[in-house]
Structure 1
Amino acid sequence: MLGHGYVIALKQAKSGVFGPKGEKIGTLGKIFMDVGTGDADFVTVHLGLFGAEECFVSLDGAQIAHGRLHVAFGKEKIRHAPHLDPAGTLSDEDKRLLDLYYARGAPGAGVAGSE
């Protein structure tokens, strides 16, 4: 999770989202914050040639460096995340599904430095 102060930096980044090896994954979409803490815990990323595919990614292990968002998960891991409606809100159950997905190994393996 990125603290409340990072939300402004996320909004200003408004550009690329980069993976654990520095590769560009896609473009930053929406920011989802935990209502209890105010911390950003998930964002959506537009993938594909025209950004038509919008997927959720966890901000666990994420960093903002040089105005760029670097996430701890590769493109294939993000692409295979549970498909949720990015136009809505994330329920506790949605967050639980995403947390479980990003906590376990899956296609495109997901911790920094592996893929």
Structure 2
Amino acid sequence: MNAPLGDAPQSLTGLHVVDAEGTKVGKVQQVYRDDATNEPEWVTVRTGLFGMKETFIPLAGAQRSGDELHVPHAKATIKAAPRIDANGHLDPSEEAELYRHYGMTRPGGGGDEGDEPQ
């Protein structure tokens, strides 16, 4: 995974997420760590009408610039991500579904571990 370097996970919370085209998507709500490595792997951002949906975005390829977190995905792709409750733990099947949606493979080759918020 290529998470933003030098940042404690809690320092990502509140950053403005900017998509691959430079469009603001929303603010980082939660940071999820990989169970095996304890490294930040996912963030959630509020999307949808009135910000009622919390959507997962992988940190792979993300770069921090000031108060912005630039992700290599289009806003439409982010908004179309599978609906998964951001309420504590991301299980392996949910994580696999998200990686498929973003056209990615899980770093480290899969494993049975899920992710937990920081």
Query: TM-score scaled to structure 2, two decimals?
Result: 0.75
What is the CA–CA distance in structure 2 between the aligned matches of 1:4 and 1:34, rounded to whole Å? 16
Taking only aligned residues, the RMSD between alpha carbons, in angstroms, comes to 1.9
**What does residue range 1-115 of structure 1 map to in structure 2 within 5 Å?**
1=1, 2=3, 5-6=6-7, 7-11=9-13, 14-48=14-48, 50-103=50-103
1:103 aligns to what SS in structure 2? Answer: coil
Give yes or no for contact 1:25–1:74 (8 Å, CA) kept in 2.
no
Give the letter aligned to residue 65 of structure 1. Answer: S
Report the CA distance between 1:50 and its aligned residue.
Answer: 2.9
Give yes or no for contact 1:27–1:47 (8 Å, CA) kept in 2.
no
Give yes or no for contact 1:3–1:39 (8 Å, CA) kept in 2.
no
Unaligned runs of 5+ in 1: 105-115
1:50 aligns to what SS in structure 2? Answer: helix
What is the CA–CA distance in structure 2 between the aligned matches of 1:8 and 1:52, rounded to whole Å? 22
* Distance change >3 Å, CA 3–CA 32, structure 1 → 2: same
Unaligned runs of 5+ in 2: 105-118
Give the letter aligned to residue 101 of structure 2. Answer: Y
What is the CA–CA distance in structure 2 between the aligned matches of 1:51 and 1:85, rounded to whole Å? 14
Which protein has the bigger helix share? 1
Comparing 68-77 and 48-57, the one that deviates more: 48-57
1:78 aligns to what SS in structure 2? Answer: helix
What is the CA–CA distance in structure 1 between the aligned matches of 2:35 and 2:6, rounded to whole Å? 15
Report the CA distance between 1:9 and its aligned residue.
Answer: 3.2
What is the CA–CA distance in structure 1 between the aligned matches of 2:72 and 2:45, rounded to whole Å? 13
